Chain A
Amino acid sequence: MITQSEIPNHVRKGLLLLQEHRYDVDELIGMTEDILKFSETLEPTLKLIHEEEKIGEDFYSTIEGKIKSYKRKGLDDREISEILNIDIESHFQRYLGEISRYYKKDGLKNIISKEIMDIVDEILLLAKQVLNKEYDERIYLGLSFHLERSIERIKKGERIYNPKLNFIRINYENEFIYAMKIAKIIDSKFNVEIPVDEIGYLAMFFATDFFKDKKEMESYVRIMVIMHGKSTASSMVEVVNSLLGLDFVIGLDMPLSMKPQKMYEVVKEKIVNMNGDKGVILMVDMGSLTNFGSMLAEETGIKIRTVDMVTTSMVLDAGRKSVLGYSMEEILGKERLDKEIYKRNLILVACFTGDGLARKVKEMLVNILGSLDLKIETINIIGSSSLEDRVSKMKEDYNILAIISSMEIDIGGIPFISVMDVFSGKIKGILNRLMVEKRSHNGVWESLKEHLVYLKDELIIEEVNTFIDQVEKKLDLKVSDEVKTGMIMHICFMMDNLKGEKKTKEFANLLEFIDEYSSEFLTVQNEIENIRRHYNVDIGENDIAYILKMFIENSKTVQ
């Protein structure tokens, strides 16, 4: 193998020019190939063409072209979809940007048919009411052009493919539902049948995140870079922000002469004065800065995570994701728990201070439950950081059986038990049942693990369990414990089969079913997203339909 070091110096220097000729190089070797073959005998297949994209050309053709070329290169559907995911967003923005640069609304009459313009008027007016958002001229123009093309395309029976469909459906639920509605309007007006992929595109027009304004920035995870040195942080941030095209990431320099305490105050002031509702990620280099996060979180009550030994590309990645509206967990990536599987059972007793009622109840519990193998802890409800945060931290080390309090507490799928049950003595029975339930889940895993080919971690049981609880809550229905066990089995096997790329049996009358339960369908899809992402499988519409059906039908028979 030849590496860079074996190449003569003048060639290596050429690599520095890469940036200027990026376009040519990509054209030559393609964005996705690692291996380039040279042959003496075969005709060179590589050509250099610079074809300017035509303004107003619909992106279907572009996407279709790309799919074809990737297919030829032998990529499978998933890889292609991943590549296109990255591509399509920027394409979409450019598309809208260019159109509005070249056309104005008044001039549209000559290009776009009146029916289209009428329906776009109608759609956007309705959108304003339904989605409560303002749409500017860009969207008007973009949507007009887009509809003209897409209707024509659908009429001709040409296929429309949207690789981002699932992403849109999950992240822009309301827009997607609205898009389904207007698709029906368009259907009847133009006598066509808009396919679901196209509905995905329509939803993109209504998802204003694609056309974010700076003033909307408040509801994002904030990224703050803090580093030693006079300008290290600010330089890094300058690079990142200019690549993002937004003044988004914040940089704070800490000159070596500055005392950490002083710096701490500077950071605190900055954090307090910005809206960090969705959390703040501190990206730091080393030393005392790595400790700021936890202290600040405690003092300010804002959700803060720290990442150390940060590089520019890490900041860029975090910045990009947070601009796209990712949550803190998504940006940082869920760290796998590599701790030992066995966790001790824990019961939490909560009251306002954690000192009054909770302490009394704890004493009682110790007496009643002396024989059971579990730990009892008190916890205060009004603490410096949110109860949910503290409990989810405890979950890492303990198996939290229940939370006991005088007022109903609903966090993260942990069963709630009223203090009254402690006083009345019912508590022992309830806890026994909870422990048996936990154990029977363990039993499920014992028998499952021999038969699952790809899933190797008991965690899946927990995850599926949480998923079921969440769906029950969101859809406001209940299924019995027996059904739950069955569903856990079903979903585990489903995941294993999907990992092994086995096809799921087709769900009978899938489209009618989705149509009938469209919002429930989206809920299940949303809730299973964590599992999907964790195991990186494609969970298809058939799979979702089977699961949803189990929820809906079984909840009708719960006594």
Chain B
Amino acid sequence: MYNIVLVCSAGMSTSLLVTKMEKAAEEQGIKTNIKAVAEADLKNNLENLDVLLLGPQVRYILPKIKELADPKGIPVNVINSVDYGTMNGVKVLDYAISIIEGK
């Protein structure tokens, strides 16, 4: 089971990506728990997490999120803008898993 959280500023665009990733996971038979969280709500969503991914438009919060996530050993990274722009669920899911496995 991979626990993945996507972060963007108002939760406008990431929720769609979540659906896409869930679909990709289902097709590949991978068990996941993926959530979209707005920046402001992140503090309450840091438990049981394997990876945090940021939308490219909130790249600037990376240092701040790292501060929160590092002590808990959760890796954080920014989603590639082409994958984000095309809402490529398969690729983003691959990316998430590669981070989790490589940590």
Q: Which A residues contact B (CB, under 8 angstroms)? A: 440, 443-444, 446-448, 451, 480-483, 485-490, 492-494, 497, 504-505, 507-508, 542, 546, 549-550, 553-554, 556-557
- Give 10 pairs: A residue, B residue, CB < 8 Å, sorted on A: A440-B85, A443-B85, A446-B86, A480-B59, A481-B81, A486-B13, A488-B85, A493-B12, A546-B9, A550-B58
Chain A, residue nearest B82 (CB):
A440
| A447 engages B86 (CB within 8 Å) | yes
Q: Considering the chains assembled together, what is the distance between the CA atoms of A553 and B81 in angstroms?
A: 17
Tell me whether B56 is interfacial, beta carbon within 8 Å: yes
| B87 engages A483 (CB within 8 Å) | no
Apart from A483-B81, A489-B85, list 11 A-B contacts with CB within 8 A: A443-B85, A443-B86, A447-B86, A451-B87, A488-B85, A489-B12, A490-B10, A490-B12, A490-B55, A505-B10, A556-B60
Q: How many residues of B contact A (CB 8 A)?
A: 25
Q: Could you give, for residues 36-64 of chain B, a 1 whenever the CB lies within 8 Å of some chain A CB and a 0 otherwise?
A: 00101000000000000001111111000
| Leading 5 A-B pairs by shortest Cβ distance | A486-B57, A482-B81, A553-B60, A486-B56, A493-B12
| B57 engages A497 (CB within 8 Å) | no
Checking B57, B78, B88 against A487 with a beta-carbon cut-off of 8 angstroms, the contacting residue is: B57
The verdict on A483 contacting B10 (CB below 8 Å), with A448-B87, A451-B16 known, is no
The verdict on A485 contacting B87 (CB below 8 Å), with A493-B13, A505-B11 known, is no
| B87 engages A486 (CB within 8 Å) | no
| A485 engages B13 (CB within 8 Å) | no
| A549 engages B9 (CB within 8 Å) | yes
CB contacts (< 8 Å) of A493 on chain B: these are 12-13, 16
Q: Which B residues contact A (CB, under 8 angstroms)? A: 8-13, 16, 38, 40, 55-61, 78, 80-82, 84-88
| A489 engages B13 (CB within 8 Å) | yes
The verdict on A486 contacting B12 (CB below 8 Å), with A550-B57, A550-B58, A553-B60 known, is no
Checking A485, A507, A554 against B85 with a beta-carbon cut-off of 8 angstroms, the contacting residue is: A485
Which of A485, A488, A542, A554 is packed against the most chain B CB atoms within 10 Å?
A: A485
| A554 engages B87 (CB within 8 Å) | no
Distance in Å from the Cβ of A521 to the closest Cβ of chain B? Answer: 16
Distance in Å from the Cβ of A268 to the closest Cβ of chain B? Answer: 51
Distance in Å from the Cβ of A384 to the closest Cβ of chain B? Answer: 42
Q: Considering the chains assembled together, what is the distance between the CA atoms of A557 and B56 in angstroms?
A: 12
Distance in Å from the Cβ of A156 to the closest Cβ of chain B? Answer: 35
Checking B58, B86, B88 against A486 with a beta-carbon cut-off of 8 angstroms, the contacting residue is: B58
CB contacts (< 8 Å) of A447 on chain B: these are 85-88
